[in-house]
Amino acid sequence: MKPLHILLACLVAIAACTNNGTPVYLDPSKSVEERVADALPRLSIEEKVAMTHAQSKFSSRGVPRLGIPEVWCTDGPHGIRPEVLWDDWSQAGWSNDSCTAFPALSCLAATWDKEMSLLFGRSIGQEARYRKKDVLLGPGVNICRTPLGGRSFEYMGEDPYLAGQMVVPYVKGVQENGVAACVKHFAVNNQEVRRTATNSVVDERTLYEIYLPAFEAAVKEGGAWAIMGSYNLWNGEFNCHNHRLLNDILKGEWGFDGVVISDWGGCRDDDDAITGGLDMEFGTWTDGLHGAPSDSYNNYHLANPYLQRIADGRAGTRELDDKASRILRLIFRTSMASERHYGSFNSPEHYEAARRIAAAGTVLLKNDGVLPLSIPDGGKLVVIGENAIKKMVVGGGSSNLKTKYEITPLEALQEAFPNAQVVWERGYVGSTETSFDRVDTGEDLSESRPAGQLLADAIKATEGADAVIFIGGLNKSANQDNEGTDKLDITLPYGQDAIIETLAGVVPHLIVVNISGSPVAMPWADKVDAVVQGWYGGSETGHALADVLTGAVNPSGKLPFTLPRSLADGPLKTERQYPGIQEEGEQWWQEYYDEGVFVGYRWYSSKDIPVCFPFGHGLSYTKFEYGPAKASKSTLSCAGSFGVNEGTETVLKVSTDVRNSGERDGAEVVQLYLMPPAGDVERPVRELKGFEKLTLNAGQTGRAVMELPRRAFARFDADSHRWVVDSGTWTILVGSSSEDIRSTAEIKIN
């Protein structure tokens, strides 16, 4: 709605209500609930229904008669999507919608830093508000169940506690700007292959312990104003209108008072859309990728079919009033909020935030003393690999962005060493694609040299080099880090493993930088001198990587997922587990979560399977010494069961002193894992239950203090639908990763 139309509509609304004074819903001094209560009875049934479904690709109707504006959504979660046409996915061709591209969420999770998450949320929320968006479609917190997951780069790793701790400040930061964070994709949406036709068969214990906690934290601690349903089914019911997930758990047990938004095309049935907990329907009657005729919006499940059901008595208005109330609440929290927010766009502060976050998430996996880089004036640095020059902001699906600029690693290294010779060789040809959905990087990645010549030229270039860096990994092409497809394996594509092995045989000290948003195998890790895990870092990705490589920033990132030695080592062993099977008589593919709670490091540590680099691993250019772990109590009386909304109070504090014993200032993530006593119910041998990031000057000692609520010790019992704390002796494990435990303590639970 254009500003003039909004003004006229407001004048009309005020004039229409002069007999009763100023309407409460227009009075910003009133509470949101008072405004909702006042506005709801003023709406006709037709107006309420019109608010529940889309009117364009990214907007739903307001109520012009009453001056209630439309709701505008935008894709995230890494930046504000360029404008698309009203009724078509094609870019609108605006010249002023180039956003700040922030790092992928897997990079944010790798910071293990809640302050960075808050900075991320505030910054992207300011960009969304400046662009007059009411709902940011992100962040994503689905668990990295398999390293093949194509959309893992948009999520926050394999651990529910880490994802839950990182999503809360993100949500709060976004919503400080009067923009709703729409946390997605709810729930058990852990693969892209057949994502719209797969039924996730997950037992309730696994659901509550692994796949729901991050969403629960976003709602109960973060106060999220919106949730997006996922494409898949859970236990036979589509998740965009899954009564058990949306009505019983989300709105019932968790008390969610916001809106449930369908994924685009995720609503599948008229009656279920009405009663199954969905509030706003988007993208139906399309496959989510192509256009649809304008009149299709009237045929949405929550459009004319809804009105017809009310008219002939097949549906009442109780659900409609609830949907309309939630949508009004969303509007009064965002575009009609009592506090005006204006936002900012492409500001120097946002680019600096993107750079800081990307650097903080960069993980130093291995270092045999070759980092940080030191290239003398007149020296030679050789950079090999396509990802040194390939821009990654464009592509990947709905997270595709148009950014004002994107600094590549090669550009940043040339800038960092202006008086040295910085030579680049491609080494291999990966993806020559430079555009996605009418957004183009402006690069020319064409190549005429054959593979053998590319490698020979790279080897020749290393002669006389002071340092050699291979920068490769994945990109956002199909079957890599990409919405809509999963990876086919975790080996590096384009023959990169063989290239790295060859280079390691001729280069004295090879540094490898892997750019990806999801786990890859590194069979060459013991043959190179340094390994760095980089990410899709957004507009400032090159600067952030160079900051770490040169030591301008001391690396402090930690892996948010396990890097296994091979795909076969993981917990998914059968086709029925992944990608699912189609059983006789079943309409949908069935995907059985037979591994239960043994996901990621829970599997590897419990089965004693060696990995390449463990969950939580990350080195520094300094060293940290841990003191003994100390618990505030030696005995607890918290055994037994408690309900799903209980057990949040702190029952134990664990502390440990950490000393920076090196010569550089740095930061260390102190991680706390719990090992349960032996019992009748099989449990992982360790689970993350706390962490704190300490920033310490050289020689400084700091204290990490982590609080454990009763819920930290609990497992979910599906039969009683309660959390249960087992009695016995528990072991507290404090360390630098899931496998690098520095100190332990015991606590007895009666």
SS (H, E, C) 38-102: HHHHHCCHHHHHHHCEECCCCEECCEHHHCECCEEEEECCCCCCCCECCCCCCECCCCCCCECCC
380 shares a domain with 288? no
368 shares a domain with 325? no
| Cβ-based neighbours of 58, under 8 Å, separated by 6 or more | 72, 73, 74, 84, 282
Q: What is the pTM of this model?
A: 0.96
Reduced to 3 states (helix: H, G, I; strand: E, B; else coil), residue 567 is helix
- Is the pLDDT reported for residue 220 higher than 60? yes
H or E stretch including 233?
Answer: strand 233-234
H or E stretch including 322?
Answer: helix 318-333
375 shares a domain with 263? no
Q: Tell me the percentage of the chain whose pLDDT exceeds 70.
A: 97
Q: How far apart are CA 366 and CA 369, in angstroms?
A: 9
Split at pLDDT 50, 70, 90, the class of 495 is very high
Q: How far apart are CA 52 and CA 41, in angstroms?
A: 16
- Is the pLDDT reported for residue 439 higher than 90? no
320 shares a domain with 420? no
524 shares a domain with 451? yes
Q: Which residue has the tokens 């023959």?
A: 495
Query: Residue 21 has what pLDDT?
Result: 67
Query: Residue 171 has what pLDDT?
Result: 98
Residue type, 325: S
The candidate with the shortest Cα–Cα distance to 108, out of 409, 367, 472, 363, is 363
Reduced to 3 states (helix: H, G, I; strand: E, B; else coil), residue 724 is strand
- Each residue of 276-304: pLDDT tens digit? 999 999 999 877 767 766 678 999 999 99
Q: How far apart are CA 432 and CA 445, in angstroms?
A: 5
The 10 Å Cβ neighbour count of residue 367 is: 17
Q: How far apart are CA 627 and CA 621, in angstroms?
A: 20
Q: How far apart are CA 650 and CA 636, in angstroms?
A: 12
Q: What is the CATH number of the domain that holds 26?
A: 3.20.20.300
- Domain assignment present for residue 327? The answer is yes
H or E stretch including 550?
Answer: helix 541-550
For residue 259, what are the β-bridge partners?
226
- Domain assignment present for residue 323? The answer is yes
List the catalytic residues.
Answer: 263
Q: Is the Cβ–Cβ distance between 560 and 109 less than 8 Å?
A: yes
Dihedral class, residue 473 (left if φ above 0, else alpha if ψ from -120 to 50, else beta)? left
| Cβ-based neighbours of 291, under 8 Å, separated by 6 or more | 87, 88, 89, 90
Query: What value does the mean pLDDT take over residues 195-205?
Result: 97
Query: What value does the mean pLDDT take over residues 632-651?
Result: 90
Q: Kindly provide the b/e burial profile for residues 47-69, where b requires at least 16 CB atoms within 10 angstroms of the residue's own CB.
A: bbbbbbbbbbbbbbbbbbebbbb
Q: How far apart are CA 363 and CA 360, in angstroms?
A: 8
| Cβ-based neighbours of 321, under 8 Å, separated by 6 or more | 40, 48
Q: Is the Cβ–Cβ distance between 245 and 187 less than 8 Å?
A: yes
Q: How far apart are CA 244 and CA 225, in angstroms?
A: 20
| Cβ-based neighbours of 374, under 8 Å, separated by 6 or more | none
DSSP one-letter string for 151-218: TGGGS--S-HHHHHHHHHHHHHHHHTTT-EEEEEEETT----TTTTSEEEE--HHHIIIIISHHHHHH
Last residue of one domain, picked from the residues 495, 528, 553: 553
The candidate with the shortest Cα–Cα distance to 707, out of 646, 658, 750, 647, is 647
Opening angle at CA 180, ends 146 and 158, nearest 5:
15
Q: Tell me the percentage of the chain whose pLDDT exceeds 90.
A: 91
Q: How far apart are CA 388 and CA 515, in angstroms?
A: 9
| Cβ-based neighbours of 729, under 8 Å, separated by 6 or more | 677, 746, 747, 748, 749
The 10 Å Cβ neighbour count of residue 109 is: 32
157 shares a domain with 53? yes
- Domain assignment present for residue 617? The answer is no
373 shares a domain with 315? no
H or E stretch including 653?
Answer: strand 650-660
- Each residue of 395-425: pLDDT tens digit? 999 889 999 999 999 999 999 999 999 999 9
Residue 397 main-chain phi, psi, to 5 deg: 115, -140
* Distances in whole angstroms, Cα of residue 562 to Cα of each of 379, 613, 617, 705: 37, 6, 9, 25
Q: How far apart are CA 487 and CA 148, in angstroms?
A: 5
Residue type, 199: N
Last residue of one domain, picked from the residues 527, 553, 579: 553
541 shares a domain with 433? yes
Split at pLDDT 50, 70, 90, the class of 734 is very high
Split at pLDDT 50, 70, 90, the class of 2 is very low
What domain range includes position 725? 622-749
Q: What is the CATH number of the domain that holds 695?
A: 2.60.40.10
Query: Residue 12 has what pLDDT?
Result: 44
- The β-bridge relationship of strands 714-717 and 722-725 is antiparallel
- Each residue of 341-375: pLDDT tens digit? 999 999 999 999 999 999 999 999 999 999 999 99
- Domain assignment present for residue 312? The answer is yes
- Domain assignment present for residue 585? The answer is no
- Domain assignment present for residue 339? The answer is no
- Each residue of 3-24: pLDDT tens digit? 444 454 454 444 444 435 689 9
Q: Is the Cβ–Cβ distance between 730 and 745 less than 8 Å?
A: no
Q: What is the CATH number of the domain that holds 546?
A: 3.40.50.1700
Residue 625 main-chain phi, psi, to 5 deg: -110, 130
627 shares a domain with 498? no
H or E stretch including 234?
Answer: strand 233-234
- Is the pLDDT reported for residue 647 higher than 80? no
640 shares a domain with 549? no
Opening angle at CA 49, ends 43 and 50, nearest 5:
90
Q: Which residue has the tokens 């400040």?
A: 169
Q: Which residue has the tokens 């917990």?
A: 571
- Each residue of 520-541: pLDDT tens digit? 999 999 999 999 999 999 999 9
328 shares a domain with 377? no
Mean pLDDT of the chain: 95
Total residues found in the chain within this entry? 750
- Domain assignment present for residue 642? The answer is yes
Query: Residue 87 has what pLDDT?
Result: 87
The candidate with the shortest Cα–Cα distance to 750, out of 723, 725, 728, is 728
- Domain assignment present for residue 67? The answer is yes
Residue 610: cis peptide before it, omega within 30 degrees of 0: no
Q: In the numeric block, which tokens belong to residue 131? A: 């662009």
Residue type, 463: E
Strand segments, DSSP code E, in 543-649 are: 589-592, 624-626, 630-631, 635-636, 640-642
The candidate with the shortest Cα–Cα distance to 554, out of 697, 411, 659, is 697
Query: What value does the mean pLDDT take over residues 319-326?
Result: 98
447 shares a domain with 400? yes
Query: Residue 347 has what pLDDT?
Result: 97
| Cβ-based neighbours of 568, under 8 Å, separated by 6 or more | none
Query: What value does the mean pLDDT take over residues 167-178?
Result: 98
- The β-bridge relationship of strands 635-636 and 741-749 is parallel
If one counts the domains in the chain, the total is: 3
Last residue of one domain, picked from the residues 518, 553, 588: 553
Query: Residue 286 has what pLDDT?
Result: 76
Residue 717 main-chain phi, psi, to 5 deg: -100, 110
Reduced to 3 states (helix: H, G, I; strand: E, B; else coil), residue 619 is strand
Query: What value does the mean pLDDT take over residues 151-178?
Result: 98
Query: Residue 4 has what pLDDT?
Result: 42
Residue 461 main-chain phi, psi, to 5 deg: -65, -25
Q: How far apart are CA 172 and CA 180, in angstroms?
A: 9
Q: How far apart are CA 185 and CA 397, in angstroms?
A: 15
